[in-house]
Structure 1
Amino acid sequence: MFKQIGEILSDSMVDQRVCIRGWIYRRSVVGGVAFVRIRDSTGVVQVVVEESRLGSDIVRTLKDIGLEASVEACGKVVKQPRAPTGYEIIADYFKILGYSRDFPIKGGEGVEYLLDKRHLVLRSPRYTAIWKIKHTILSAGREWFNKNGWWEVTPPILTASACEGGATLFPVQYFDKTAYLSQSAQLYLEVMIYSLEKVWSLTPSFRAEQSRTRRHLAEYWHLEAEAAWYDMNDMMKVAEELVGYIVGRVIDERRSELELLNRNIDSLKKALEPPYPRIKYDEAIEILQKRGINIQWGSDLGADEERVLTMEFDKPFFVTHFPKEIKSFYMKLDPSNPRVVLGFDLLAPEGYGEIIGGSQREDDYETLVKRIIENGYKVEDYEWYLDLRRYGTVVHSGFGLGIERLLMWVAGLDHIRDATPFPRFRGRIYP
């Protein structure tokens, strides 16, 4: 019976005979002995193939075989401090299942080349660790909502109108009409709160932005929440509790993966302690100006400005009360200062910046109509959305969390392209 490699890397398996299957990750041949590192989804182990035991043909083959050949091996587990994971298998059986010749990734290749070979790059243990962390992030998010009385719903991906802005929509031919790939499920989630009150969804979102930065994707996974009766402060509490829970689960369950990625776990632990700091946009502008950043009130906060702000905090923090001109039409105006909206961004520390954007929604019909017109949209395109204010409007709030941005921070990644298997951004669709 075959075992996974992760099962045999323990003292309890020493001197036992085991069989494994996997792919050749590294190999070297010294004299009549081949040292073959084999990986599977659970780990890497060194297998020692000796000519005196298994013959010269297999050792000769292993000397010339390419990386990523698929193999199976059996033998006794021994403790070996010099082996990469502290254990190795002394093989009494070794078979090559799928040959590999001249594997095209040898180290030192450029970014564009590696993106072209993405289907092969993803085999590395580094990416295996990233996907396991992402799995836990998704699992923990779902678990938090389930534990706290929220309902998961399934909004559409094709939409007839814009949520954030028409310039960043991908048009799609929908029979004899033009539709768009969704930027956000928010407007549909607002519909659902009138029956379920607290709802959330996990869907792909699409942004046709021209940006190609370390934190922009054209297609990403979007975890969104919306709740009736919640004001902005209520929703900020949800956001920080959710993030704290997710980070805690990752630390508990994916510690070895974080260590493989050289992530500073002590830094992450600070996120386990809500409430998170809160500053208003006005304060953020003052901080940036004091740090020598040329920015005026009314300007949006970009990646550079957010990076400077994050150096002021050692845990996630909120920026609130943004100027209405730089935020979406559906955000509620602050009754005490209608120049700003009751909106918030949650920024991750260590230079990572925004991971959540949210707000209290405008629940007044006349104000919402005015905001739609001010933003250059057609009121008739939003009649269904306005009906929500005509018939039993309530205070409500919501947010969107970018899964890849959260993963980028939690895993300590340098670029968001590493947070998704096949990144989509301006100028790239393959593979």
Structure 2
Amino acid sequence: MSMITIREVSAYVGQEVTIGVWMYNKRSSGKIQFLQLRDGTGTIQGVLVRNQVAPEIWDEAKLLTMESSLYVTGMIRQDDRAPSGFELDVTSVKTIQVAEEYPIAKKEHGTDFLMDHRHLWIRSARQAAILRVRAEIIRAIQMFLDQKGFTLVDPPILTPSSCEGTTNLFHTKYFDEDAYLSQSGQLYAEAAAMALNKVYSFGPTFRAEKSKTRRHLIEFWMIEPEMAFVDHEGNLEYQEQMLEFVAQSVLQNCQTELQTLERDISKLEKIKAPFPRITYDEAIELLHREGFDDIQWGEDFGAPHETKIAESFDKPVFITHYPTEIKSFYMKPDPKRPEVVLCADLIAPEGYGEIIGGSQRIDDPELLAERYEEHSLSKEAYAWYLDLRKYGTVPHSGFGLGLERTVAWICGLDHVRETIPFPRMLNRLYP
């Protein structure tokens, strides 16, 4: 007899198997018990017929409560009426534990209650589907970058200074020095690109911003590619190709999960390169036409502005050439128009806002030194970064993709708190 997972049942039709499962739900007609079973790889209905099993097996199954754990044995049967296409004719159950009364019952719970019980909430079909889509997005991104010749590098999480030049950092002591939790691996990835050509980092980043919006987390994951000998135009092409690859991979490999989430896949099917592009100037004009007179040239866009811009397109849209003054110190000015930089934010459709930010980086050592002065950056703390421009500087570009915002968009979620197993938000550090 084989010990298998629910994901594998299609290969065992007509065979008796054993599966380690949890009881997701149960109903009975008196003569038949219908056991809704899950094992983390999928769900299946077990059918237990009273007059076909020993009385003790029937009685043991009757004692099982929601989230009880057990080994179930039975014959795999194909059934086109079943959601998974298969059912299990149960011949035996072996209880591991009869669970206590489960806190998350089949009734409405408030968000705070569910977040307090996040360690249990992730067992639900919807939350498990989101986490599987998240895993597929990660797998697809890494596959795309690997196929394009990128090398994975691991920047430090503890850093002596800020990447963005902001004060919104988590401070800690590093023995007798000050240190901060990383808000980006970009600067270190740039150093690695000078050694390895095309690289990417993938890891947690931290922002000590007291934000409560549906798009923000305190701890989140970033994918940050950096590429030597790649200009602004090449940078945009990598971004749109990668996002197309991700969307199509999810459509191909997560059909069950997307159905569980009731996601309108027609919107994802449109995610094909190339993506539309508008300049910051054009975006300002669009907003003014739509009645957003409050936004002036030189100001950054907020969530309502990004949403309005995105409504004009059915694909993600690049907004390029932002004003130099509102962007980070390392972004390269447009040689034809120095008051704007060679950068782009990629805005997702359906109101999900910016999911990628990127730019061509400054490669001129003198200009970068000037930026240090303008942004009051410590020359000692950033000396190593300037070295990259002194010893074989080249045109280079990169971008950062926020994983949780991307998951929220692909899954069609209202809030990023559901996109990560255990979210860290302004007022939440538990569980």
| Range into which the TM-score falls when normalised by the shorter chain | over 0.9
- 8 Å contact from structure 1 (residues 47, 91) kept in 2: yes
Give the partner amino acid of 1:70: S
- How many Å separate the matches in 1 of 2:222 and 2:422? 16
- Matches of 2:142 and 2:91 in 1, distance apart? 45
1:278 is matched with 277
Cα distance in 2 for residues equivalent to 1:349 and 1:416 = 16
- Output the CA distance in 2 between the equivalents of 1:154 and 1:65: 46
State the AA in 2 paired with 1:53.
Q
The aligned residue for residue 206 of structure 2 is: 206
Q: Per the alignment, in what secondary structure is the counterpart of residue 76 of structure 2?
A: strand
8 Å Cα contact 2:37/2:43 also seen in 1:
yes
Cα deviation digits, residues 115-170 of structure 1 (max 9, x gap): 11111111122222222222222222222222222222121111111111332111
Matching residue's letter, 1:118: R
Task: Tell me which moved more, 47-56 or 334-343.
Answer: 47-56
Following TM superposition, by how much is the alpha carbon of 1:13 offset from its aligned partner in structure 2, in angstroms?
5.1
Task: Measure, in 1, the Cα distance between the counterparts of 2:151 and 2:86.
Answer: 46
Q: How big is the shift at 1:54?
A: 3.5
Counterpart in the other structure of 1:408? 408
Distance 1:19 1:198 in 2: 47
TM-score in terms of structure 2 length: 0.94
Indicate the SS of the match to 1:380. coil
1:205 is displaced (CA, Å) by 0.8
In 2, the alpha carbon distance for the partners of 1:191 and 1:258 equals 39
For 2:321 and 2:237, locate their aligned partners in 1 and report how far apart those are by CA, in whole Å.
Answer: 16
Compute the displacement of 1:213 (Å): 1.3
2:270 alignment partner, SS class = helix
In 2, the alpha carbon distance for the partners of 1:398 and 1:84 equals 43
Q: Deviations over 1:206-254 (max 9, x none)?
A: 1111112111111111111111221111111111111111222222222
Q: Which amino acid aligns with 2:120?
A: L
Counterpart of 1:119, as a letter, is H
Partner of 2:159: 159
Mark the CA change 1:395 to 1:85 in structure 2 (over 3 Å): closer, same or farther.
closer
User: Per-residue deviation at 1:301?
Assistant: 1.1
Change in CA separation of 1:144 and 1:88 when aligned onto 2, cut-off 3 Å: closer
**CA displacement at 1:268 relative to structure 2:** 0.9
Greater shift in the superposed pair: 282-291 or 131-140: 131-140
Which residue of structure 2 aligns with residue 88 of structure 1?
A: 87
**TM-superposed deviation, 1:378:** 2.5
Q: Kindly state the Cα deviation for residue 350 of structure 1 after the two structures are TM-superposed.
A: 1.3
User: How far, CA to CA, are the matches of 2:276 and 2:287 in structure 1?
Assistant: 17
Which residue is 1:52 aligned to?
51
In structure 2, C-alpha distance between the alignment counterparts of 1:104 and 1:154, rounded to whole Å: 40
Could you say which residue in structure 2 is the equivalent of 1:73? Answer: 72
Residue identity matched to 1:398: G
Correspondence 1:228 to 2:228: yes
The 3 A distance-change label for structure 1 pair 84 and 363 is closer
Distance between the aligned counterparts of 1:63 and 1:166, measured in 2? 60
Give the secondary-structure state (helix, strand or coil) at the position aligned to 2:249: helix
CA distance in structure 1 between the partners assigned to 2:79 and 2:14 by the alignment? 12
**Cα 1:399–1:411 shift into 2, 3 Å:** same
Taking a change above 3 Å as real, the CA distance of residues 84 and 266 of structure 1, as seen in their structure-2 partners, is: closer
Give me the whole-angstrom Cα distance separating, in 2, the residues matched to 1:255 and 1:86.
14
State the one-letter code of the partner of 1:346.
L
Question: Deviation of residue 30 (structure 1)?
Answer: 2.6
1:305 aligns with 2:305: yes
CA distance in 2, matches of 1:384, 1:43: 50
Deviation of the 1:255 alpha carbon: 1.9
Q: CA offset at residue 58 of structure 1?
A: 5.2
SS of residue matched to 1:167: coil
How many residues align? The count is 428
Structure 1, 220-229 or 254-263: larger mean CA deviation: 254-263
**In 2: Cα distance, 1:428 partner to 1:21 partner:** 33
Report the TM-score, using the length of structure 1 for normalisation.
Answer: 0.94
Secondary structure at 2:380's aligned position in 1?
Answer: helix
Q: Output the CA distance in 2 between the equivalents of 1:330 and 1:170.
A: 22
Corresponding residue of 1:356: 356
1:296-328 deviation line (CA, Å, top 9, x unaligned): 111111222111111111111100011122211
Does residue 1:103 correspond to 2:108, yes or no?
Answer: no
Asked if 1:324 corresponds to 2:321, the answer is no
Which residue is 2:266 aligned to?
Answer: 266
Question: How far apart in 1 are the matches of 2:80 and 2:36?
Answer: 15
Aligned mates of 2:301, 2:226 — CA distance in 1: 24
In 1: Cα distance, 2:343 partner to 2:80 partner: 55
Moved more, 348-357 or 63-72: 63-72
Per-residue deviation, residues 349-380 of structure 1 (Å, max 9, x unmatched): 11112111000111222322222222232233
User: SS of 2:3's equivalent?
Assistant: coil
**1:336 has 2:353 as partner:** no
Partners of 2:230 and 2:86 in 1: how far apart? 54
Deviation at 1:195, TM superposition (A): 1.7
Structure 1: stretches of 5+ with no match in the other structure: none
Note the aligned Cα RMSD (angstroms): 1.9
In structure 1, what is the Cα distance between the partners aligned to 2:373 and 2:50?
79
Task: Give the distance between the partners of 2:7 and 2:187, measured in 1 at CA.
Answer: 45
- 8 Å Cα contact 2:23-2:64 kept in structure 1: no
* Paired AA for residue 331 in structure 2: M
Which residue in the other structure is 2:6 paired with?
Answer: 5
Task: Decide whether aligned partners of structure 1 residues 84 and 190 sit closer, same or farther in structure 2, where only a CA change above 3 A counts.
Answer: closer
1:32 and 1:59 in contact (8 A); partners too:
no
Counterpart Cα distance in 1 of 2:132 and 2:85: 22
Describe how 1:215-254 pairs up with structure 2 within 5 A: 215-254=215-254
On the 8 A contact 1:189/1:226 being kept in 2, the answer is yes
The whole-number CA distance in structure 2 between the counterparts of 1:86 and 1:361 is 52
Instruction: Report if aligned partners of 1:33, 1:59 keep a CA contact under 8 Å in 2.
Output: no
1:22 equivalent in alignment to 2:24: no
- 1:83, distance to aligned residue in structure 2 (A): 4.6
Counterpart residue identity of residue 42, structure 1:
T
Question: Contact 1:355–1:405 at 8 Å: present in 2 too?
Answer: yes
Q: What's the counterpart of residue 170 of structure 2?
A: 170
- Residue aligning to 1:43: 42
**Equivalent residues of 1:229, 1:395 under 8 A apart:** yes
Per-residue CA deviation, residues 367-413 of structure 1 (Å, 9 max, x unaligned), is 22222222232233212211222232221111111111111111222
Tell me, in whole angstroms, the C-alpha distance in 2 between the residues paired with 1:167 and 1:66.
51
